[in-house]
């Protein structure tokens, strides 16, 4: 059954446009409180990133939850995975994150975590949406929820992050540049790395409510690359606005993306016999990663694009490690959701444990050239049953043979057909992708 408001990662949109409005957030708080709190009430945590609209949404959610008889603990600006962790350890009924992740400041959204610190199941999201169709019924005064602030939230999460790093290791000999995207990690991330012994240079730690992800962070890493080279640092780490993803930069200022970081973590685990099962990537994971794992007979599986689908496969296969090219890495042997700080510490553990630089470790994976062409269409054709497109696809696959792969799929949010081709030779990739894109464009004209 299609959901009206929930997407693959909660509810998201432009502030002031339905559903990211004060009245909807009030009712969402009430509906979520009724479903997640149940008849017994209980406590729900609320954390947020640094967007100016977080104040508005936080207040509206708090009022709705209170009306449903739910006590609220406010965490303030905290990374998304911190709310997942604290929800679980504080035995709360649920956790709510106010964030639009890597989007511009004018957007915002809501993410939910269950009592176990995991994303909500589809049936729970359906139940919340069904409750939204009802009129708000406010509890009597003696049954309203109360609100309080959890003053030591940051310290609890910092200690948790540090606990995921091997006790016998330290970062004493590393100089690291940390880019917090003027977002949710700006207070906690520098402390984690400093307390583990690193010399830390920080950028993107001056949020003003409007500058989140603006010129900084994992989606705009140019300032990080520049800072690493200028400071002669060993490496750099950039988080996104809500702290659940990262990318890294080696000592020469070269980007190390999510696929390469996944490779580094997996191979370190493999080397000490601690890799449980295989690794889950997505349809967009670079073919070079799949081939690198194949050389070591490490099982690899592709999920749909989105951390929700990576998590589904991990749980289904009982594997512990997966992630996306964007840097959303899930280390289930350490935590319950994607966590940028925790994942970066697993990479640093590989650097320390193997006595090699990040550049040397990432070099073990050959990154194949990839080209993505977005073909704008008035109406999306049925790709599977369009004879001309299917003929062109078979011809393209024959031309690549076993040196590459092709992904042809409609966008879920825009009038686009995405043509992705990757392979060992750049010129061949470009040629195949353009020919296939031209066929799709003509077929959809």
Q: Exposed, middle or buried: residue 438 (CB in 10 Å: 0-12, 13-18, 19+)? A: middle
Question: Quick one: 249 and 316 in the same domain?
Answer: yes
> Which pair of structure tokens corresponds to residue 189?
């991330």
Rounded CA Rg of the chain: 23
pLDDT reading at 1 higher than 80: no
Phi, psi of 147 (to 5 degrees): -125, 140
> Is residue 345 assigned to a domain?
yes
First-to-last C-alpha distance (Å) of the chain: 31
Question: Quick one: 204 and 89 in the same domain?
Answer: no
Helix intervals (H) in 296-445: 307-317, 340-354, 358-362, 387-400, 426-443
> Is residue 437 assigned to a domain?
yes
Average pLDDT (240-251) is 97
pLDDT of residue 182: 98
Average pLDDT (421-444) is 93
- State the Cα–Cα distance between residues 111 and 9, nearest whole angstrom: 7
pLDDT reading at 126 higher than 80: yes
Domain of residue 427, CATH code? 3.30.310.50
pLDDT reading at 138 higher than 80: yes
Question: Quick one: 332 and 376 in the same domain?
Answer: no
pLDDT of residue 413: 64
The rounded mean pLDDT for the chain is 95
> Is residue 1 assigned to a domain?
no
- State the Cα–Cα distance between residues 13 and 7, nearest whole angstrom: 11
pLDDT of residue 445: 72
- State the Cα–Cα distance between residues 350 and 346, nearest whole angstrom: 6
Question: Quick one: 294 and 279 in the same domain?
Answer: yes
pLDDT in tens, 146-177: 999 999 999 999 999 999 999 999 999 999 99
Instruction: State the Cα angle at 390 between 386 and 391, rounded to 5°.
Output: 120
User: Residue 412: which pLDDT band, with cuts at 50, 70 and 90?
Assistant: low
Residue 317 is given by DSSP the state H
pLDDT in tens, 16-45: 999 999 999 999 999 999 999 988 889 999
Whole-prediction pTM? 0.93
Evaluate whether 85 touches 159 at the Cβ level (below 8 Å). no
Give whole-number Cα distances, 339 to 102, 134, 164, 184, 192, in Å.
Answer: 14, 35, 11, 12, 13
Average pLDDT (70-88) is 98
Active site residues: 101
pLDDT of residue 414: 74
Tokens 């890597």: give the residue: 102
Question: Quick one: 190 and 73 in the same domain?
Answer: no
- State the Cα–Cα distance between residues 311 and 317, nearest whole angstrom: 10
Of 61, 67, 68, which Cα lies nearest the Cα of 41?
Answer: 68
pLDDT reading at 8 higher than 90: no
pLDDT reading at 130 higher than 90: yes
Q: How many domains does the chain have?
A: 3
- State the Cα–Cα distance between residues 65 and 144, nearest whole angstrom: 9
Residue 412 sits in which domain range? 370-443
Which residues make beta-bridge pairs with 239? 246
Which residue among 134, 151, 168 closes a domain?
A: 151
Of 197, 235, 236, 192, which Cα lies nearest the Cα of 217?
Answer: 236
């Amino acid at each position: 059954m299609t959901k009206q408001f929930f997407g693959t990662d909660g509810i998201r949109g432009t502030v002031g446009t339905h559903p990211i409005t004060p009245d909807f957030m009030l009712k969402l708080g009430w509906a979520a409180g009724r479903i997640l709190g149940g008849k017994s009430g209980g406590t729900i945590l609320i954390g947020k990133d640094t967007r100016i609209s977080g104040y508005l949404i936080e207040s509206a959610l708090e009022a709705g939850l209170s009306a449903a008889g739910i006590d609220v603990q406010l965490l303030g600006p905290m990374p998304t995975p911190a709310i997942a962790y604290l929800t679980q350890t504080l035995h709360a009924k649920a956790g709510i994150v106010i964030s639009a992740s890597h989007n511009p400041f004018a957007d915002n959204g809501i993410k939910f975590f269950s009592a176990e610190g995991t994303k909500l199941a589809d049936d729970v999201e359906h139940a919340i949406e069904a409750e939204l169709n009802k009129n708000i019924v406010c509890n009597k005064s003696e049954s309203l929820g109360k609100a309080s602030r959890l003053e030591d939230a940051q310290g609890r999460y910092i200690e948790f992050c540090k606990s995921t790093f091997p006790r016998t290791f330290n970062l004493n000999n590393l100089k690291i540049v940390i880019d917090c995207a003027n977002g949710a990690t700006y207070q906690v991330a520098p402390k984690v790395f400093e307390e583990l012994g690193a010399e830390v240079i920080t950028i993107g730690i001056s949020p003003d409510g409007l500058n989140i992800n603006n010129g900084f962070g994992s989606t705009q890493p140019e300032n990080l690359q520049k800072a690493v080279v200028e400071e002669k640092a060993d490496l750099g780490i950039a988080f996104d606005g809500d702290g659940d993803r990262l990318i890294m930069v080696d000592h020469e200022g070269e980007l190390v993306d999510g696929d390469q970081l996944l490779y580094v973590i997996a191979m370190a685990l493999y080397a000490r016999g601690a890799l449980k099962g295989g690794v889950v990537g997505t349809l967009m994971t670079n073919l070079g990663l799949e081939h690198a794992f194949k050389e070591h007979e490490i099982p690899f599986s592709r999920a749909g694009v989105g951390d929700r689908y990576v998590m589904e496969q991990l749980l289904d296969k009982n594997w512990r490690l997966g992630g996306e090219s964007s840097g959303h890495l899930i280390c289930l042997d350490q935590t319950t959701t994607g966590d940028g700080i925790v994942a970066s510490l697993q990479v640093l553990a590989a650097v320390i444990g193997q006595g090699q630089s990040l550049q040397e470790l990432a070099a073990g994976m050959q990154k194949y050239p990839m080209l993505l062409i977005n073909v704008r269409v008035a109406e999306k054709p049925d790709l599977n049953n369009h004879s001309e497109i299917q003929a062109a696809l078979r011809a393209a696959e024959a031309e690549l043979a076993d040196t590459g792969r092709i992904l042809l799929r409609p966008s879920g949010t825009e009038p686009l057909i995405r043509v992705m081709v990757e392979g060992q030779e750049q010129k061949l990739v470009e040629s195949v992708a353009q020919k296939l894109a031209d066929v799709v464009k003509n077929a959809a004209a």
